Structure 1
Amino acid sequence: MIRVIVVDDEALVRSGLRMILEAAGDISVVAEAVDGADAVRAVARHSPDVVLMDVRMPVMDGIAAAGQIASVAKVIMLTTFDLDEYVHAALRAGAVGFLLKDTPPRDLAAAVRTVAAGNAMLAPTVTKRLISSYADQRPARATTARQQLTVLTGREEEVVRAVARGLSNADIAKELQMSEATVKAHVSRSLAKLGVTNRVQAAILVFESGT
């Protein structure tokens, strides 16, 4: 069972999300929180697998909260506002998912499963713009990003580049002809060497490198 905390300042939204997620059968909403500060406390109390969190909230917004909890729980940002500034800030804070509130119920549950399994989940429109945005900024960032990637072994770099293409551990294992356990080990070591906290941030680094 995937343990989820739902964070939104509107009670009706929280209730709707709980109903959608728990109808999936393999997801349990273990707590709700009304703002970012409440979310930080709830995560410490309930140790969820995934936190589904609104961006704009009083007291502490979702991005600030993500920065505090991303190291202990996987964070999906959920918002009405499809704005690049939110996407970039959320990913820098450590979020591994970014979805719009009009995401269909089936896709919402699938996103929770995807993130719980250790993969990233971004709305397709967000992904396209994100890649385009980093491509536009590539000349200024490319040299630094390439230098960061040099800390990886050849095999680790192959794995990280596969991650940047959105492949799961199972897909990478099949493509590179290694076990999933080996892929997982390569991913963990690579993230540590690169000084990033998740697969999305590693992918961004590859986009920035331009190679």
Structure 2
Amino acid sequence: MSTPLRLAVIQGSTRDGRLGPTVAAWLARHATARPDMSVDLVDLAETPLPTVFPQLGRGPADAADRELLDAVSPRLAAADAFVVVTPEYNHSYPASLKNAIDWHNKEWHAKPVGFVAYGGFSGGLRAVEHLRGVFAELHAVTIRETVGLQGVWGRFDGEGRAVDPATDSAAKAMLDQLAWWGEALREARAKKPYGA
């Protein structure tokens, strides 16, 4: 058996009273239970990033900004694959998530990205469709299988378990597809570094 994929689960909501940590922890439990994945849960509320960018082509001059980035950037660089857990705000994804994406570039290259989205009527899928274009620009590969949680407030019990077995099945299908792409792209990057 090959080395487990290093999966970064990115919890994108920073809103007070957020449900994101419940959703992200549920997904992380699914991934951790698999022998082909190890999980690093990156909660953007616990690892805030600067919101003022330096001049294009330069790193942050401020030591405090560098320290904030040092808490996240190496974790993203080490990942073989990502799952982005996002709510839908106003038909899109939160600013905190865009900020985290934009601070990084090569960390995303030639790596697969899966999505767990949640919200009301659309189940967060409009946020996912916006994210697909952003990740394409960053040379990442978004996978088709997506978990969309419509009416998310009733989807989990007090222990953070999904109340509908179909929700767990959707997570498995997404992680299965992510594992295929993760292994294929890791092997490709090992044979020839991306962009070389």
User: TM-score of the superposition, structure 1-length normalised?
Assistant: 0.46
Larger Rg: 1
Higher helix share: 1
Higher strand share: 2
User: TM-score of the superposition, structure 2-length normalised?
Assistant: 0.49
